[in-house]
Structure 1
Amino acid sequence: MLKPTISVLVLRHVANCLDLVGCDPEPLLAGFHLRRNDLDNAKGVMPLEDFLGFLELAAVKAANPYLGLQAGRLGALNSLGALGFLFLSAPSLRAAFTGFDSYLATIQDAVRNRFSAQGGIATFEYMITDQTLQSRRQDAEFSIALMHNMCRNYVGGEFELIEVRFEHACQGDERVYREFFRCGVFFDQDTNSFSFEDHFLGCKSPVIDPELYPIVEEHLRRRVADSARRARSHKDIIRVLETSPLDRTPTLDEVAASMGVSVATLSRRLKAQGMRWRDLVNDRRMHAAARLLRQSQRDVAEIALSVGFAESASFVRRFGRHFGTTPQRFRKAGAENPPRA
């Protein structure tokens, strides 16, 4: 199965931030079989798993538990390549979010990125959908802080948030987060997001001439079309599964209908890849449960519901068959032996 990837340009920004805090990124890059000049390749990608691991390890090496937040705050115009230019050249902040929402997949796989506005409140949401990728705290904080910084660059210093939410439990001083975002920050949530008053959506950017926007958008549209032509059917199936809510997994019939094929055809394609639908669904739920047990403080009953089980007993039985231990023991083992980056 193809592993999700991310553009190396994002890692280039993180490496530059490490330089600024006096931590040499070269030894860290070497540990992931990368050199500094590899990060200048606009078409280069790396496994998303390696990117997440690099961020977690960099925070340890720099002795800075808030590295993701600070790297996000230092986000520059080219931190996201063409996608960053698209955002900052948009004719309005609403168009900036809409464009970002449409084209994030050009630099990163396995991500759910949503923008919505209703009831006077606008919300940006970011979440990695591949549940096998467990160590994601620094990435979540980096991504939310970077988008917040992009908004401040677009609107100006008057841009203010109403609230910020993170999937993971608070690790560190909660006051750091409140002072950083200048609003309430909530942990152990269903997603990573920030919200603000929607009157900012009409603002126009003083940073880049909006005439650049359609040019950059056409470039990204071609990249999306090229990617779609190269996509393999099993990758499409995985994408449908990953972008669905954990507590509402689509049936194979629904997936087949969304792809315009029969259930029999879809089953044959899965079988040819050595996969079964029910195994894919179960693996996703179990990996999500394992991550929540390790990285959040939610109780077992709440986790069971969040990953699609109607009651705790069936969840505990399924978890035991999958991991060979109970959820409680799994959580305790993780607390006593935290995973290394």
Structure 2
Amino acid sequence: MISPGKGHVVRRRGRPAAQPVPAKAGHMPAGRLPSGLRRSDMQFIRASVLTPILNYLRNEEEILQRVMLRHFNSDVKCIDSYDLIPLHTYVRFLEGIAKELKTEHFGLKMGQSSEAEEILGPVGLLFSRAPTLRVAFRQMMRYINTWQTATHTALICENEYAAMEYQIVDRTIWPRRQDAEFSISATCKIIRDMMQHQWRPVEICFEHAPPENPKIWHDILRCPVRFNQGSNRIVFWAADLDRRIRGHDPGFLKYMERHAEDLVIGQNRNSVVEQVEWYVEQHLSSEDLSIVSIARAFGLSVRSLQRRMADSGVNMRELIKGKRLTMAATLILNGDMPFSSVAQIVGYSDSTTLWRAFRAWSGVCPSAFTVADMERLQGEAEAHGSMHGDITYEENISPDTNF
């Protein structure tokens, strides 16, 4: 029930409480994933969401680099906007930056400097260019899981009030204050831009505990703010839902919707493999890279991860080995670093171990490896459906293969 000023269900023992919500049109009850996704699916968010963080921290390069290495083991500037980041990792990353900056309202401030397309790509464009808020929320609820999975969004209408609800479904992802405040703050900012800066919410609710100085939250969000609630919500006047928004482009929206539909289709094809592939590429230098560490990063059991990879015809050991050796081949061809450094970068304990693995994989020793050898390996992979760094799915590879 939407009751501004009266609160909802209070969180206890550090986790958000379950909250029964009336089943209304377009509403997905909290705790249930959308159709087509299972709890065994890995939870991800696309890397475009990092864009406003980069912009916000452009003068804090040292902090950004330190936190990026801690959580992603890579340079964020090399990440493509469509890359898939484990949701657990992303949420921890936001919490880590807030601690480094000693800024409790980091997510809140960052949301106020974000654009829809930066955060949600084509889904954000569909939202921000919609003819009305009602259409905008409908589009977001339809396509949100192509950009961020395991996420509950809902539009609830009751009498003169409406509420947009946002919550990560997985309750093991906690704390998640920065994600919640970033998402709610950014949504308010985007709606305000759509409404020509005249719009303001009636009330905002957060699932987490209140900060030491709530006045900052009130000032930034321009409305009363309540904490320890059953979910994260933006409460506003229902009449705002059908106000016409200037500047929407039906032709542009048609193409964006087609792109979003393509993402829905593509998400159903080997999405787990793509997420694991990205994670492996970002953690090649770690000697601890294994199915155990990958499963832990994605919040899955080892058995669940093995089953999902096997369903796509991919063997984890061969995937990791292929990625490491392909990267080693690229570094060798560049020819600007010692072989011992190559071994360290791609996660081998010593250069001798890499030398043996590389020769067995490529058929030549590293010092004799040429561009022609790389082209030969790529051609063999395409012809035989085997894996030499780039993944193909036609052939199961023996699980007994060593790294």
> Normalization by structure 2: what TM-score?
0.55
Aligned to 2:202: 162
User: How many residues are matched?
Assistant: 236
**CA separation in 2, counterparts of 1:21 and 1:177?**
23
Give 3-state SS (helix, strand or coil) of 1:116's partner. strand
Counterparts of 1:22 and 1:28 in 2: how far apart (Å)?
10
- Listed one character per residue, the Cα deviations across residues 301-334 of structure 1 (whole Å, up to 9, x for unaligned) are xxxxxxxxxxxxxxxxxxxxxxxxxxxxxxxxxx
Distance 1:156 1:20 in 2: 30
CA-CA distance at 1:77 after TM superposition? 4.2
Q: Match of 1:173, SS? A: coil
Taking the aligned partners of 2:68 and 2:164, their CA distance within structure 1 comes to 31
- State the distance in 1 between where 2:307 and 2:266 align: 23
The Cα shift of 1:191 comes to: 0.3
1:229-268 alignment runs, 5 A limit: 230=270
Q: Which residue of 2 aligns with 1:92?
A: 132
One-letter amino acid of the counterpart of residue 171, structure 1: P
1:217 to 250, 257, 272: 257
Residue matched to 2:170: 130
- Counterpart residue identity of residue 250, structure 2: P
Within the candidate set 217, 228, 235, 1:177 is matched to 217
- 1:141 Cα offset (Å): 0.5
Structure 1 runs of 4+ with >3 Å offset: 20-24, 204-208, 228-232
User: Would the alpha carbon gap of residues 43 and 93 (structure 1) be closer, same or farther in structure 2, given more than 3 Å must change?
Assistant: same
The Cα of 1:213 is off from its aligned counterpart by 1.2
Counterpart contact for 1:105–1:111, Cα < 8 Å: yes
Q: Does 1:59 align with 2:98?
A: yes
3-state secondary structure, aligned to 2:244: coil
- In 2 relative to 1, CA 219–24 (structure 1 residues): closer, same or farther, beyond 3 Å? same
1:81 match: secondary structure: helix
Counterpart in 1 of 2:81? 42
The CA distance in 1 between the partners of 2:210 and 2:122, in whole Å, is: 33
Taking structure 1 as reference, are residues 66 and 145 closer, same or farther at Cα in structure 2, changes over 3 Å only?
A: same
Is 2:166 the counterpart of 1:118? no
After superposition, the Cα gap between the structure-2 partners of 1:209 and 1:20, relative to the gap in structure 1 and judged at 3 Å, is farther
Instruction: Look up the SS of the partner of 1:193 in the other structure.
Output: strand
The CA deviation string for residues 97-140 of structure 1, in whole angstroms up to 9 with x for no partner, is 11011111011111101112231211100001112211201101
In structure 2, relative to structure 1, the CA distance for the partners of 1:187 and 1:52 (3 Å cut) is same
Structure 2 residue runs without a partner (length 5+): 1-39, 273-303, 309-403
CA shift digits 1:162-202 (9 cap, x unpaired) = 11111111122111111122221111111001111122222
Aligned residue type for 2:97: A
Structure 1 contact 23–61 (Cα < 8 Å) conserved: no
**Which stretches in structure 1 are left out of the alignment for 5+ residues?**
233-269, 275-341
What letter corresponds to residue 215 of structure 1 in structure 2? Y
Are 1:4 and 2:31 an aligned pair?
no
CA RMSD of aligned residues (A): 2.4
What's the offset of the Cα at 1:14? Answer: 1.6
Does the 8 A contact of 1:169 with 1:187 survive in 2?
A: yes
The structure-2 alpha-carbon separation of the partners of 1:16 and 1:231, relative to structure 1 and needing over 3 Å to count, comes to closer
CA apart distance, 1:34: 2.7
Q: Which residue is 2:382 aligned to?
A: none
One-letter identity of the residue aligned with 1:66: H
Please tell me whether Structure 1 or Structure 2 has the larger radius of gyration of its CA atoms: 2
Partners of 1:105 and 1:23 in 2: how far apart?
Answer: 33
Instruction: Look up the equivalent residue of 1:65 and give its one-letter code.
Output: E
CA distance 1:221–1:60, change in 2 (3 Å)? same
Distance of aligned partners of 1:229 and 1:221 in 2 relative to their CA distance in 1, 3 Å threshold: same
C-alpha distance in structure 1 between counterparts of 2:109 and 2:59, whole Å: 11
Asked whether 1:26 is paired with 2:65, we answer yes
Q: How far apart, CA to CA, are the structure 1 residues paired with 2:75 and 2:271? A: 29
> Aligned residue for 2:327?
none
Who is 1:74 aligned against?
113
Q: What is the TM-score with the length of structure 1 in the denominator?
A: 0.64
Q: In the TM superposition, what is the alpha-carbon distance from 1:208 to its structure 2 partner?
A: 4.8
Could you tell me how far apart the structure 2 residues matched to 1:23 and 1:119 are?
A: 50
Distance (whole Å) between structure 1 residues aligned to residue 111 and residue 59 of structure 2:
13
Change (3 A) 1:134 1:77: closer
Distance 1:124 1:85 in 2: 18
The corresponding residue for 1:279 is none
